[in-house]
Amino acid sequence: MFATKFSIDWSDYLRTVTPTSTHKYTLADPVVFVQKIEYLKRMNELLAKTPDRTLINYVVIQYLKSWLPVLSKPHTDVIDEFLAKSQHYVPTRADRCVAFVKSKMPVAVGAMFARATSSEKIKPAASEILNETVEAFKSTIESNTWMDKQTKKAIMSKVNRMERRVSHSEILMSNRKLDDYYFHKNLMLSADLPFPNLVDEIDRINSVNAYKSLRGDANRSDVCTNPFDISVHYDFNINRIVIPSAALHPPFFGLNYPRAYNYGAIGYIIAREMLRGFDHKGKDFDAEGNYVQWLPDNKVQTINKRVSCLSELFGKADGNGKDDEKSLENIATSEGLKLAFKALSVPGNVPKHVSPTTTAETYLILGDCEVARLVKQTVVSYGQARNSRGHQILSSGGKNRDEKQISPEYLLGESSLSFS
C-alpha cells in the first residue's frame, strides 16, 4: 500500500486499527481508491520534516479535543474564547453534550428526537407531495418532444427505481427494533464501566463494525435516516431521495398550512433535489447509483448542449454572462419551482382560491420565497446543522419556535384561511 512512495506503513497501520477478521483482506495489498492523492503526498512530505515531538503534541491535542464536550468549564472557556475571537459560533454546554451523545449513539438519540417531534399525519402528507412531484416529472418526460423512446424509457426506469425515504425510519419508533439493532452491532454495554472506558468502548465497537462491512455485500435498506438532518437531499450513489423528520416542520412544512404553501416550500425543495438525479451530474449515475453511461450517446451530447445553453442564459440574466456553477444552481431552482407548480396544478389537488383574496399560486410563491429567505440568513435556535448545499442553518427542527410568526397567514396579514 504505497510502500514505495510513502513513508507511512499503511499495512502496519491497518493491522493495528482493524479487527483480526479483516486482516487477511487488508494484508493482501488490495487496490485502494484514494480521491485526494495529492493531499496524502503533501502530508507525507510534511510528516517527514516535522519533529517527532511536534507530532506527538499534535496527536495529544487532538485526543484532548475529542473529550472537549465533557471537560470542565475552565477548559471549555479557553476554547469558547478562541471561537468568539475568530467570529465562530460558540455552542452552549447543552449543545456540546447533545452533539457528543448523538455522535456516539446516533440511532438511540434519533429515536428520542423522532418520538418527540413526529406526528402520525406528517409522513403520509409529505409522502403525498413527493409522490405527486414524481408523477409530475414523469408527465413532463412523457410529453417531451426532443427525447426518443429509448431515452424516455431509461429515465422512467431510473425514476421508478428511485428509493423514497420520508420522515423517520420505523426502527426509531420501536424499542424492540432498537434493541435488535444494537444487539446486532454488539453494542450491549455494561453499566459498571467508568465513563471514559464506556466512550472508548463505543468508539471501538463502532470502528470494528465499520471495518467488518468492508467485505460484505452492501444492504441499501440497512441505513437509518438521520432525523436531525434538516436537508432534503438526493444521493447519486444509491439513487435515493431523503426527506428527514426535521425538514417536515415550520416554516418548510405544516399540517395546518394551505397545501399550496407546502408545495411552494417543502414541495419545491423536494422537486429541486429529485431533479439532481437527472442534471449535469446526475446523468452520469444509473438507477443503481453506478458511475456509468446509461443514456444513449447522442442524447448525452444533446443534454450537455441544452444545459450549457440554459446556463449561459442564466449567467447573462445574473449579469456575469458566465456559464458557471451558480448558473447551474439557478437552473435547478427554476426547474424545481416549475415542477412543484405542475404537481400543485393537478386537477382537484387544491382549490384555486385558498382564501377570498388569495390564490393557491400566491401561496406557492410565498412558500418558495420563505425558503429562499431562510437559506440566505443564519437562523439561530437549538443545535447546529449544515445542509447538503452548504447553507449554514441553526435549527430546532420545528421546536421552540413561534409558529405564528412563520405561518403563511401571518406573513400575508390574514386572520383566517380556508385550509385544504
346 belongs to a structural domain: yes
Cell of 9: 506503513
Max mean pLDDT among 57-61, 210-214, 305-309 falls in 57-61
Which domain CATH number covers 236?
3.40.390.10
pLDDT the model gives residue 223? 59
377 belongs to a structural domain: yes
CB atoms within 10 A of CB 140: 13
**Domain co-membership, 163 together with 269:** yes
Q: Please state, in angstroms and rounded to a whole number, the distance separating the CA atoms of residues 395 and 91.
A: 13
Assign 53 a pLDDT band (cuts: 50, 70, 90). very high
Q: Of 140-144, 228-232, 395-399, which gets the smallest average pLDDT?
A: 395-399
Assess contact for 299 and 281: CB atoms under 8 A: no
pLDDT the model gives residue 222? 61
137 belongs to a structural domain: yes
Q: Of 162-166, 245-249, 377-381, which gets the smallest average pLDDT?
A: 377-381
pLDDT the model gives residue 418? 33
**Domain co-membership, 144 together with 236:** yes
pLDDT of 360 higher than 50: yes
pLDDT the model gives residue 317? 65
The residue with greater pLDDT, 3 or 30, is 30
pLDDT of 190 higher than 60: yes
pLDDT the model gives residue 407? 47
pLDDT the model gives residue 58? 93
Q: Of 186-195, 200-209, 254-263, which gets the smallest average pLDDT?
A: 186-195
Tens-place pLDDT, residues 260-297: 888 888 888 899 899 888 888 888 899 988 888 888 87
Assign 350 a pLDDT band (cuts: 50, 70, 90). low
**Domain co-membership, 259 together with 356:** yes
pLDDT the model gives residue 351? 58
68 belongs to a structural domain: no
pLDDT of 354 higher than 70: no
pLDDT of 3 higher than 50: no
pLDDT the model gives residue 5? 55
Cell of 348: 382537484
30 belongs to a structural domain: yes
**Domain co-membership, 44 together with 127:** no
193 belongs to a structural domain: no
Q: Of 165-174, 233-242, 266-275, 322-331, which gets the smallest average pLDDT?
A: 322-331
Assign 138 a pLDDT band (cuts: 50, 70, 90). very high
**Domain co-membership, 125 together with 43:** no
pLDDT of 335 higher than 90: no
pLDDT the model gives residue 397? 37
| Total count of domains within the chain | 2
> Residue 71: exposed, middle, or buried by beta-carbon count in 10 A (0-12, 13-18, 19+)?
middle
Range of the domain at 38: 1-49
Chain centroid to Cα 328, Å, comes to 20
User: CB pairs under 8 A, 24+ apart, for 346-355?
Assistant: 346/132, 346/135, 346/136, 349/132, 349/259, 350/258, 350/259, 350/260, 350/263, 350/420, 351/418, 351/420, 354/258, 354/260, 354/417, 354/418, 354/419, 354/420, 355/414, 355/416, 355/417, 355/418
pLDDT the model gives residue 181? 80
pLDDT the model gives residue 28? 82
Tens-place pLDDT, residues 219-273: 666 656 677 777 888 998 889 999 988 888 888 888 888 888 888 888 888 998 9
**Domain co-membership, 137 together with 19:** no
Q: Please state, in angstroms and rounded to a whole number, the distance separating the CA atoms of residues 403 and 420.
A: 19
pLDDT the model gives residue 409? 45
pLDDT the model gives residue 344? 80
The mean pLDDT of 72-88, rounded to a whole number, is: 82
**Domain co-membership, 32 together with 146:** no
110 belongs to a structural domain: no
pLDDT the model gives residue 355? 62
The mean pLDDT of 7-17, rounded to a whole number, is: 80
| In the chain, % of residues over pLDDT 90 | 12
Average pLDDT, the chain: 77
The mean pLDDT of 29-47, rounded to a whole number, is: 83
pLDDT of 76 higher than 70: yes
Q: What DSSP designation does 256 have?
A: T
Cell of 189: 454495554
5 belongs to a structural domain: yes
* Phi and psi based region of residue 274 (left: phi greater than 0; alpha: psi -120 to 50; beta: remaining): alpha
pLDDT of 412 higher than 70: no
Tens-place pLDDT, residues 95-133: 888 888 888 888 888 888 888 887 788 889 999 999 999
